[in-house]
Amino acid sequence: MRNPKYKIMGVTAAVAMATGAYVVAQTPVSLTIVSWGGAYTESQVRAYHNPWMEENPHVSISNDDGSANALAGLRAQSQAGNISWDLVDMLPSDAQLACDEGIIMPIDHDEMLASAPDGTPASEDFLPGSLGECFIPQIVYSTVVAYNTEMFPEDNQPNSIDDFFNVEDFPGRRALQDRPGVNLEWALYADGVHPDDIYDVLETPEGQDRAFAKLDTIKDHLIFWTEGAQSPQLLADQEVAFSTGYNGRIFDASEVEGQPFEIIWDGQVVEWDGWVVPYGPNIDAVMDYLYWATDTQRLADQAKYISYGPARASSAPLVGDHADLGIDMNEHMPTNPDNYFSPILLDNDFWTDYGDELRERFANWMLQ
């Protein structure tokens, strides 16, 4: 089961393994895995953590819902010389910054990760553009706009990003995440910029001004959320009519909890999410876990619990019905052709280059 890179080699080591590895392997290990909480963490618990612990009863996994501030947390732990996180789920742009700063491990994908069932190496099986120097993708997901159907007349339901910015025809408060990523892209899209041209415009001072000016048009109608669980809760409580959110969170609230929510797939912002490995004390156990949890079957298994697409090509044909609801999960995937008609592909290189500057400007804008 373990990654071959970590198997002990040589005659002397083989003797040691024959006489003592069983004891070493059974030494209790406690892993702290950081993720986003809510329905997403629950999908990881059911698809990865619990099955892994059943096969490895000496390992216990504790969940930490700190991914929204993962980069700051990793920096602080590294500076303090006290690494308490063993595995962290984070966004590719933040992962690249952490990688550049040397606070997470580089990954040799073909050595450290399982091949596809047909022998295709990991570097060719993970979807194009998804792998990073220190980043192992799990899912393809999208940030979307959703709305509470009960807050609009049946004959006047919104269906576009333009409607999100149209407070006259679609009144009500809106909720945005308290970070610039996705919000600035949508502002330009609603202002007439084609999805393919958004980052060419946004990398200019004039384009950034244009995006903030568009957001100004709805500023008086906005509240802000930080954690992913807040978005569907705001909609359910009818504190807002619209909210941005992760498509899997909205799926869980709508299909599992029965909330009257609809997703606006227009302008969905598509991106990856995945794992990074800090330089902690339990790296061997972490790499064992990753080798198993990122293989073809396990990534397909996560789609039984949440509507995020697996990051491996070989996993896609294995996506089937929801484990509890029995509904076909393919139609709820961001990449389903019926949903993927005007996607904005998040440019992580852009956010690596401009993220710090724009995060500071956005934070100041929220306070104005």
pLDDT of residue 348: 86
The CATH number covering residue 92 comes to 3.40.190.10
Tell me the residue range of the domain where 64 lies: 4-11+29-140+273-318
Tell me the whole-structure pTM to 2 decimals: 0.79
**Whether residue 226 is found in the same domain as residue 351:** yes
Burial class (CB in 10 A: 0-12, 13-18, 19+), 79: exposed
Taking Cα atoms as reference points, which of 234, 253, 254 lies closest to residue 244? 234
**Whether residue 78 is found in the same domain as residue 176:** no
In a domain, 217, yes or no: yes
Q: What's the total number of domains in the chain? A: 2
**Whether residue 123 is found in the same domain as residue 251:** no
pLDDT of residue 26: 74
**Whether residue 189 is found in the same domain as residue 266:** yes
In a domain, 327, yes or no: no
Question: Residue 143: CB partners within 8 Å, gap ≥ 6?
Answer: 177, 182, 244, 245, 246, 247, 268, 269, 271
**Whether residue 171 is found in the same domain as residue 67:** no
**DSSP state letter for 116:** P
pLDDT of residue 13: 36
**Whether residue 185 is found in the same domain as residue 278:** no
**Whether residue 230 is found in the same domain as residue 345:** yes
pLDDT of residue 56: 96
**Whether residue 262 is found in the same domain as residue 338:** yes
Strands (E), the chain: 29-34, 59-64, 87-90, 136-148, 174-177, 222-225, 242-246, 261-276, 309-310, 344-345
Q: How far is CA 195 from the centre of its chain?
A: 21
Per-residue pLDDT of the chain (368 residues; tens, 9 = 90+): 444 343 333 333 332 333 344 344 578 999 999 999 988 999 999 999 999 999 999 999 999 999 989 999 999 999 999 999 999 999 998 999 999 999 999 999 999 999 999 999 999 999 988 999 999 999 999 999 999 999 999 999 999 999 999 999 999 999 999 999 999 999 999 999 999 999 999 999 999 999 999 999 999 999 999 988 999 999 999 999 999 999 999 999 999 999 999 999 999 999 999 999 999 999 999 999 999 999 999 999 999 999 999 999 999 999 999 999 999 999 999 989 899 999 999 998 899 899 989 999 999 999 99
**Whether residue 102 is found in the same domain as residue 203:** no
**Whether residue 194 is found in the same domain as residue 339:** yes
pLDDT of residue 205: 98
**Whether residue 114 is found in the same domain as residue 152:** no
pLDDT of residue 216: 98
In a domain, 107, yes or no: yes
pLDDT of residue 15: 29
pLDDT of residue 18: 33
